[in-house]
Amino acid sequence: MIAFICILLTVLVYYLSKQLYKKVRFAFLSPLLIAPCILSSMLVGFHIDYSDYDSGGRWLSNLLQPAVVGFAIPLYKFRKVMKKYAKIIAISMTAGVTIAIVSSGLFSHVVRLNDHYLLSLLPRSITTPIAMAVSVDIGGMPTMTAIFVIVTGISGLILGPMVIRYLHIQEKLAKGLLLGMGAHGAGTSKALEFGSEEGAAASLAMVLAAIFTLVFAPILTPLILL
Amino acid sequence: MLKKFLNTILQVGYLYLFALLGNLLAKWLHLPISGSIVGLFIVLCLLHFKVLKLSAVELGASFLMSEMLLFFIPSAVAIIQYKNEILQHGSQFLIVILLSTITVMVVTGLVAQYSIRRLANKKGEIGR
């Protein structure tokens, strides 16, 4: 019963925050920032355990799996464009993944985080299940990584459009790649707001980022820990 | 209207089945990538070889993709379980994540834009 109520409540809060966002279009009011704030204050206010909430929440999180499968459709539709720009995509993604891992490590050193947190931060820019797997592989804490992944998603939703605006990025492919690379699925959903071609590029970036990180992270980790 | 609604639900079901199939394959073959990405490749292959029609999954996929933020919300709420870590290191985490995300996006965007324009110049087109 509580599971069902939690699903309903989450959908309702999401729906309302989405309506609000549509009206004001202010990046800091993204449903992914507002809705979790409202829901967690409700959990704290009504003394509901997260595990009880998640008995329902899990059903919604699970829908992320078919959503990722669904990214096959924009990829298929724009396969000719993707093929044409294959080399550019490979170069951009190699740069993106390397910078994602190295800069996470570097900034962690700068703010003096210990190695456990540093290692958990390294795979933060890719989709959750793979990020957690990489985290285990390089000796991080997978649950902390999952949190960093979601915070990255929220940050990317807000920062992505700003980066595009300030750098005057005009190519649809470049917009999609930076959103999918920087903020995984959350960035990809933002890219779809820009257009279907941007969405396709972001889906590809999300998938490639995950696969590249799987390979690059174990290689780069020892260098970062030096 | 009702027909479209039912069709969407049915197609979401299909996509879920492909995700489950992907999970099983990833487990059996000990693949390091997640089941949903394996599922994505399966659907891509089936579309490519015309086994699966685009119209059989398109409606469900666009529904799931447009409401995707909803599916992230429960994991975002999970942050309240880590009150201690966040009180202790929250600002450090945030600095690292914000700065690193900006850096990644700037580099990826600029590298992509530069290469696209260079390719366009080579071919004598206007890069757009």
pLDDT digits (tens, 9 = 90+) for A163-211: 999 999 999 999 999 999 999 999 999 999 999 999 999 999 999 999 9
Distance to chain B for A77, nearest Cα, Å:
9
B107 with B56, same domain?
no
Per-residue pLDDT band at A120 (split at 50, 70, 90): very high
Which A residues 136-175 touch B at CB under 8 Å?
143-144, 146-148, 150-156, 159-160, 163-164, 167, 169-171, 173-175
According to DSSP, residue B57 is labeled T
One DSSP character per residue, B6-40 reads HHHHHHHHHHHHHHHHHHHHHHHTT-SS-HHHHHH
pLDDT 10s digits, A66-97: 998 998 999 899 899 889 999 999 999 999 99
Query: To the nearest whole number, what is the mean pLDDT of chain A?
Result: 93
Q: Find how far residue B109's CA is from the centre of its chain.
A: 18
pLDDT beyond 60 at B51: yes
Smallest CA–CA distance from A213 into chain B, residue: B33
**Residue B24 tokens, joined:** 């099983």
Enumerate the domain spans of chain A: 2-61, 71-225
pLDDT for residue B127 is more than 80: no
| Pairwise CA distance, residues A159 & A181, whole Å | 13
Angstrom distance (rounded) from CA A5 to CA A11:
10
Which residue among B32, B66, B100 closes a domain?
Answer: B66
Q: Compute the C-alpha angle B15/B16/B21, nearest 5°.
A: 95
On whether any CB of chain B is under 8 Å from the CB of A120, the answer is no
Report the residue from A125, A129, A133 with minimal CB separation from B104.
Answer: A125
In chain A, which among 174-203 make CB contacts under 8 A with chain B? 174-175, 177-179, 181-183, 185-186, 188-189, 192, 199
Is B106 part of a structural domain of the chain? yes
**Among B17, B34, B66, where does a domain finish?**
B66
Compute the nearest-CA separation of B72 from chain A (Å): 6
Is residue B126 assigned to a domain?
yes
* Interface residue of B15, B102, B108, B122 to substitute, partner A, most A CBs within 10 Å: B108
| Confidence (pLDDT) at A133 | 86
Place of tokens 């879920």: B16
Tell me how many residue pairs between chain A and chain B have CB atoms under 8 A apart: 305
Give the pLDDT mean for A41-56: 93
A128-153: average pLDDT: 91
Domain that holds residue B94: 81-128
Overall number of domains in chain B: 2
Q: What percent of chain A has pLDDT over 90?
A: 82
Are the Cβ atoms of A169 and B111 closer than 8 angstroms?
A: no
Phi, then psi, of A111 in degrees rounded to 5: -90, 10
The pLDDT assigned to B125 comes to 58
Give the separation between CA A183 and CA A158, rounded to whole angstroms: 10
For chain A, say whether B88 makes contact (Cβ under 8 Å).
no
Chain A: residue whose CA lies nearest to B92: A111
